[in-house]
Amino acid sequence: MCRRRCEKGGYAGACRDRDSEDESNTEVEADWSCEQGPMLTDILHRVVSNPTIYDTVQLVVGVSPHLDRRLAANLGETPARPTILDVGGGTGLPPSLWPAGATYVCMDIDPVKLAGFRRKDRPGVALRGDATHLPVRTGSVDVVVCKNVTHHLSDAQVPPLFQESARVLKPGGRMLFID
C-alpha cells in the first residue's frame, strides 16, 4: 500500500498490481478517494475527542508512556519552579513528569479535552487557545511542550506554532517537541 497526500488534505491509497512480479508501487486501484480521506479522519477525530477514549488509546498503543518518559528526561533540566506551557495538551501531562514547584498550563483548542483535564483534578491551569496564536505573554514561559500536535495542523499552521512558541519562551527557555 502506498499513500499520497491529496491537495484537499487527507490521503489517497493505492494497491500494487498483484499479478505483476514487479515489486514497485504501481498504482492500479485506489482504496479510497481524496474526498473520503478527510471524512475518515474526521470520524477518527470525533471518536478520540472523548477524553476517556483518548487517554485509553494513548495507553493501549503504548505511545503515551514512551513519550512521557522522553519528556520527563528533558523536563528535569529546567530551572527551579518553571512555568510549563503544554501546547495542544489535551487531557494534560501527568504531574509526576513536572519538576517540583512547576506551574503547569494545559492549553488546548478543544474544550472537551480541557474538561477531561479538569476532571482529573490535577494541579495546573486549563487554558483554551490556538497553537498558532498562543494566548500567553511574550517571554513568560520556561518550557513549551508540544506533544503529538503537528499532525493535527495544516502545513501552513506549523511555522506559526514554532514562531509563537519562540515568542512566549523566556530567554534561555526550551521547547520540547515530539510528534
DSSP for 42-93 reads HHHHHHHTSHHHHHHHHHHTTHHHHHHHHHHHHHTTSPSS-EEEEET-TT--
pLDDT at 11 over 60: no
* pLDDT value of position 168: 98
| Cα dihedral across residues 121, 50, 74, 177: positive or negative | negative
Task: Indicate the CATH number of 62-178 among 3.20.20.140, 2.40.30.10, 3.20.20.150, 3.40.50.150.
Answer: 3.40.50.150
- Predicted structure pTM score: 0.69
Distance CA 90, CA 115 (A): 9
pLDDT at 47 over 80: no
Where does CATH 3.40.50.150 sit in the chain? Answer: 62-178
pLDDT at 6 over 80: no
pLDDT digits (tens, 9 = 90+) for 54-78: 767 666 665 667 777 887 787 767 7
Distance CA 44, CA 163 (A): 29
- The crossing angle, in degrees rounded to 10, of helices 111-119 and 51-60 is 80
141, 84 contact by CB (below 8 A) = yes
Supply 130's cell numbers. Answer: 490556538
pLDDT at 86 over 90: yes
Question: What are the C-alpha distances in Å from 34 to residues 8, 16, 25, 28?
Answer: 7, 18, 18, 16
Of the pLDDT bands very low, low, confident and very high (cuts 50, 70, 90), residue 95 is confident
